[in-house]
Structure 1
Amino acid sequence: MSILPSWLDPEVILNGAGPWATAVVMAILFAECGLLIGFFLPGDTLLFIAGLLVATGTLDVNIWLFLALLWVAAFVGNMVGYWIGRKVGPAVFKRPDAKFLKPEYIEKSEAFFAKYGKITVVLARFVPIVRTVATVMAGASKMDAKIFTLYSAIGGALWVGIVTLAGYFLGRIDFIAENVDLIFVGAVVIVVLMSAIPALLHLRQRRRRAAER
């Protein structure tokens, strides 16, 4: 049983899309990975359920072609989000009267992406909302475009491949298929903790340096 509302339920989306299911999945991944308005979309569960439906033949498409198409959508979405952040972000954060998007935030973001940008771009793929926001912030922070492109491609391939193939091979187990959302909640918690380790180590180093002064 899904904990998502029906209009965000991957099975409802895919079954309703019919022969356009692959295109619909690609459009959703593009929006979630590149457009801030797509942060609420069910990327993880959608990939998992899509893999399951390919395995059962409900989605009539070769799994490897399917993975390639989804990777392209996720990668292109990330690149669009990056350039949106790079072009629009600095102007938004430079407003001196901003209450929430303050100039110092972008400075801290630039320092963070300079030090942890590579691993952040990869791990952010596995964390809902973060994968949308981190992409834009990487652009706003002017993270090196070549480095972002490389690690965005790697992260996209890992995310699409791991989650979709998990659905393809594991989704036929009743317990897993019936508790996809809960399983991903646990997975998200683990990934968030893993991605927080570099930031926590950085904070610890700062406090140690402050104490030595």
Structure 2
Amino acid sequence: MTTTALLAASDQLALMPDFLDPMTLLGYFGAWALVGLLLVIFVESGVLFPVLPGDSLLFVAGMLAAGTAALAAEGGQTINFQLWQLLVFIPIAAILGGQAGYWIGRNIGTAMFKPDARFLKQRYLDEAHEFFVQRGPFAIVIARFVPIVRTLAPLTAGAARMSYPVFALYNIVGAVVWGVGLTLLGYWLGQFEFIQNLLEPIVIAIVVVSVMPMLLEWLKRRRATKRAGGSAQPATEQPS
């Protein structure tokens, strides 16, 4: 995606729900911005509310810690973060959210997944279990970088009865790599003041890159379904 396209796409941020715009979301928390940030990270890490701006939120928090991006919250106070606070507390919030999601899935997960459910379908649980079998527990780390999947992964791991010590280890690794990595990326890029002028396009780029694996998987499934339908059709035809 070119810079021109990203700049054009940035106009669409105004159409996004406020809770998906990291700057607006942090502004709502005001003086409690750090607490609000950690709460969002905790919830998105496994507590049944997958549509939150986790990746872009970490990036923006890092930029605010760098001091080049300024955010005025409601009431007029300026929000900025201390880098050490982000690097310590974000991984902790992400780890705790993943642990909570695991135990939610372990205790009531199988009851939440139903064949005819709109979101938590039984096949998601079955496919998640197969995903873990094929890729091993490192799938928990990979899931951290995919929106929605990072919320559902601990739930499905718990419901599929993944070994808790194994899950806990990879949950910690994923939380640290994700939380520290994206925050430091925002902090490093935040050293360059011209980056602030490209903040909205960068946020959009992060969202696009984050959802790309989901889009590719959806396209793969759609092609597989079409192929299966096409191969089954001739077999049902009766000779004249």
Structure 1 length-normalised TM: 0.78
Which structure has the bigger radius of gyration?
Answer: 2
The Cα of 1:192 is off from its aligned counterpart by 5.0
Q: Which residue of 2 aligns with 1:74?
A: 94
- Runs of 4+ more than 3 Å apart: 57-61, 100-109, 189-194
Matched, 1:99 2:110: no
Q: Map residues 127-166 of structure 1 onto 2, 5 A cutoff.
A: 127-166=146-185
Q: Contact between 1:123 and 1:191, CA under 8 Å: does it hold in 2?
A: no
Question: Which structure 2 residue ranges, 5 or more long, are not aligned?
Answer: 1-9, 71-77, 225-240
CA shift digits 1:71-128 (9 cap, x unpaired): 11111000000110011123445x7xx4346766644433332332422100111111
- Name the structure where helix makes up a greater proportion of residues: 1
Q: Map residues 1-213 of structure 1 onto 2, 5 A cutoff.
A: 1=10, 3=13, 4-36=16-48, 38-56=49-67, 59-93=79-113, 98-100=115-117, 106-171=125-190, 172=193, 173-174=195-196, 176-189=198-211
* Same amino acid, percent of matched pairs: 39
Report the AA paired with residue 42 of structure 1. P
| Structure-2 change in CA distance of 1:122 and 1:102 (3 Å) | closer
Report the Cα distance in structure 2 between the residues aligned to 1:163 and 1:104, rounded to whole angstroms: 32
